[in-house]
Amino acid sequence: MEQPLLELRQVSKNYKLEDSKQELEVLTNINFMVQRGEFVSIVGPSGCGKSTLLSIIVGLIAPNDGECLYKGEVVKKPSLERGLVFQEPRLLPWLTVKDNIGLAGEYDEGLLKKMDLEDFSHAFPHELSGGMASRVALARALAPRPDLLLLDEPLATLDQNLRSKLQGELQRIWKDEGVTCILVTHDLNEALALGTRLIVLGKRPGTILHDTSLQDSMEKEAMKEQVLTWMEG
């Protein structure tokens, strides 16, 4: 069997509460693998540990128990091979679009063109619309040519029309760039529209309730009510 790009084995994460000896259990016994070329959508109730899970995968924090393996090696620190896009663009205000993208890798005119930003290469973040800023953040994550792109609700703050447009951009990037994607979102329609696979987390402490393939569009539509039931249960 081909080695998975990513594997989580019995991952759990606790946080110590301030001014208390108690610990908050955020994730418990998370097990799944991701193969190259997949687009995995992760949904679950607020506070169930979705963003914490991405932080473990990217290497920003370590699990208390279990291990996260990337290409067979334990993840111990961040790497440009694992790109992360946050909910907010987090662009440096004193740098131009071109320089913000270049922070994470070699500047690429072709990437700017693909993101429809070539006319704004010398613009500063305050001169950009919300959609443009989100595209710059995506381009910055893609600049180092990562094998794995982690998306932490990157479209959550956008209006519906712009959100739909950038969902199309994400799908195009996944297909054209050959990058494996993991998307965390509260938007079930977005998760089903973009994903080839859906992971549903339960209430905190987050654990995997269901891990389902999403290959058929009719099947995706039929799953909505079932997924909502899983999340609420």
Q: Compute the Cα dihedral for 168, 173, 174, 176 and give only its sign.
A: positive
Q: What do you get for the CA distance between the two ends of the chain, in Å?
A: 35
Q: How far is CA 204 from each of CA 11, 46, 62, 162, 177, rounded to the nearest angstrom?
A: 14, 9, 18, 31, 35
pLDDT above 70: percentage of residues in the chain: 91
Q: Compute the Cα dihedral for 226, 206, 184, 30 and give only its sign.
A: negative
Burial of 108 from C-beta contacts in 10 A (0-12 / 13-18 / 19+): middle
CA dihedral of 77, 81, 86, 89, whole degrees rounded to 10: 120
Digit-coded pLDDT (tens) for 83-98: 888 878 888 999 998 8
Which of the four CATH numbers 3.40.50.1480, 3.20.10.10, 3.40.50.920, 3.40.50.300 does domain 6-81+146-232 have? Answer: 3.40.50.300
Domain boundaries, the chain: 6-81+146-232
* Top-confidence range, 51-65, 135-149, 183-197: 51-65
Digit-coded pLDDT (tens) for 125-180: 999 988 888 888 888 888 888 899 999 987 777 777 777 877 887 888 888 888 99
Number of residues that make up the chain: 233
Residue of 16 and 39 predicted with greater confidence: 39
Q: Work out the pLDDT band at 39, boundaries 50, 70, 90.
A: very high
Residue 14, classed as helix, strand or coil, is strand
